[in-house]
Amino acid sequence: MFSELLIAVIASEGGGGGLLDVNPGLMIWTVVTFILLLLILKKIAWKPILEALDKREKEIKNSLEQAENAKDEARKILEENQANLAKAEEESKKIIEQSRTYAESLKEQMLKESKEQSKRLIDDAGDEIQRKKDAAFEELKEQIAELAVNAAERIMKENIDASKNKEIANKYLGEITKN
Amino acid sequence: MNADSISDTLTTVTDSLQQAGDTGSGWILHHVMDGKEIELPFLGYIHIPQLPLVFGIDVTPTKHVVFMIIAAVLVFLTFAAVARQYKSSLIPKRLSNFFEVMIVFVRDEIAEPTLGKAYPIYLPYLLTLFFFILFGNFLGLIPFSATFTSNIAVTAALAILSFLMIQLGGIRQNGLIGYLKGLVPHGIPLWLLPLMIPVEILGLFTKPFALAIRLFANMIAGHTVILALLGLIFFMGTIFIAPVSVAFAVFIYLLEILVSLIQAYIFTMLTSLFIGMAVHQEH
């Protein structure tokens, strides 16, 4: 219907000039050629080409997504690693700090102990010395007294008796000790 | 060059023109119009044999039929090769790379924006239309060939096919009754309907009519202008006009390359747009 209308319109416009004459045979040829071409190409060309394009686009999209995912994953792992590293550093710092304080306290304690010990040793030694000194002094006193008595005896043998001389000697020795 | 020789030349030209056609521009028309003979370079003419009438219609192949079939075969060979390349590998090679650009252009710039989600159904038609017209337009630019897209019968036939696609697309999407109802815009007062219905029905037919005329006129205009420019040399009867004529003719020829691409695009684009309008009637 439409083609007839179109032909009628164009034929009336053309007025037999030739240029606008519509050749119905040519129209049939066109329709047949075009539809044949459409059917053949649809099966042979468009379907595989469009499918290939779709497939490739999907593949590119997928690979891009995968790459994006891998990048995210890598970033996550990197962040994790950095966090772990920071934690480890923190920990090691803490451990070092702890050991340092421990060592400090240990040192202090040991120092105190050794000081105490040395003080004790010194005190002991002082006491011992005092004791020994006292003992030695006592012995010395006796020996001196003995010596003095002997000496006085030897002197006095000549003139006075021994007991009176010993008393005198002890009195003198006592005075010496007090000094 | 004296006056006699000029008038002699003019007489010769006029005589040859008289032979070619009734009017002074007959030879141009003879060249751009369809005919029953094909001109071969340096070999003369091939006359196409007359076929018997089929249902009272003369279906004898004409010059334009021959070039139409050549174009169809070229399109077929080209895209069969492209398809073969895609089958072997998804990575486009030389030929497929070149045509992929156009295929993707038709898909992403023409079909998808105008048709929306329904575009894969109409894409083969649009692709075939685009490349058939494109190859036809370019084939016409080769010397000794004929531009079958500058024949009103061809463009009218293509427009009829587009018209059918538009109607079928609309009916397929909306149903026959829904489609016919949707032709008239919503919210029109009832008393306007007697006016609107004929206008809308007329609108259905003006779209493909404009398609046919646009392609036909654009394709015939360039050739006619080239021939007219070259014809100037003979009409003026002097060779000194030749550089100007040739320069302008080359310019028009280059313009025709552009027009070939644009017209193939426009025809496909408008068909797609009209199908889209029929499919999505609300907009």
Q: What is the pLDDT along chain B (283 residues), one digit of tens a residue?
A: 455 555 565 565 555 555 544 445 667 777 777 777 777 777 777 777 777 777 777 777 788 888 898 999 999 999 888 888 888 877 778 888 888 888 889 888 888 888 888 888 888 999 999 999 999 999 888 888 888 888 888 899 999 999 998 888 888 888 877 777 777 777 777 787 788 888 888 888 998 999 899 988 888 888 888 888 888 888 777 788 888 888 888 999 999 999 999 999 999 999 999 888 888 876 5
C-alpha span between A31 and B65 (Å, rounded): 11
Partner-chain contact A28 B57, CB within 8 Å:
yes
Count CB neighbours of B11 within 10 A. 10
Partner-chain contact A10 B205, CB within 8 Å:
no
- Select the residue from B51, B58, B79, B96 to test the A interface by mutation, using most A Cβ atoms within 10 A: B79
Greater confidence (A26 vs B12) lies with: A26
Contacts of A31 in chain B (CB under 8 A): 157, 160-161
3-class secondary structure, A133:
helix
Contacts of B57 in chain A (CB under 8 A): 24-25, 28
Q: Residue A24: pLDDT above 90?
A: no
C-alpha span between B246 and B229 (Å, rounded): 8
For residue B64, the one-letter residue type is H
3-class secondary structure, B46:
strand
Contacts of A50 in chain B (CB under 8 A): 103, 107, 120, 123
Q: How far off is chain A from B222, nearest CA to CA, in Å? A: 15
pLDDT the model gives residue A104: 92
Point out which residues pair with A87 in neighbouring strands. none
Nearest-by-CA chain A residue for B205: A2
- Sign of torsion, CA B188 B193 B196 B197? positive
- Select the residue from B60, B70, B86, B161 to test the A interface by mutation, using most A Cβ atoms within 10 A: B86
Mean pLDDT calculated for residue range A59-78: 94
Which of B34, B76, B161 is opposite residue A23, by nearest beta carbon? B34
Q: What DSSP line would sit under B178-208, residue for residue? A: HHHHHHSPTT--GGGHHHHHHHHHHHHHHHH
Greater confidence (A18 vs A44) lies with: A44
C-alpha span between A89 and A77 (Å, rounded): 18
Mutual angle of helices B63-88 and B119-139, in 10-degree steps: 130
Residue A42 gets which letter from DSSP? I
Nearest-by-CA chain B residue for A5: B205
Mean pLDDT calculated for residue range A89-107: 93
Residues 6+ apart with CB under 8 A from B146: B34, B38, B63, B64, B66, B67, B140
- The gap from C-alpha B72 to its chain's centroid, in whole angstroms, comes to 13
Confidence of residue A67 (pLDDT cuts 50, 70, 90): very high
Please give the torsion angle defined by the CA atoms of residues A84, A90, A93 and A98, in that order, rounded to the nearest 10 degrees: -110
Nearest-by-CA chain B residue for A49: B83
pLDDT the model gives residue A89: 94
Q: How far off is chain A from B85, nearest CA to CA, in Å? A: 9
Residues 6+ apart with CB under 8 A from B207: B163, B166, B270, B274
Partner-chain contact A30 B68, CB within 8 Å:
yes
Partner-chain contact A6 B159, CB within 8 Å:
yes
Partner-chain contact B123 A52, CB within 8 Å:
no
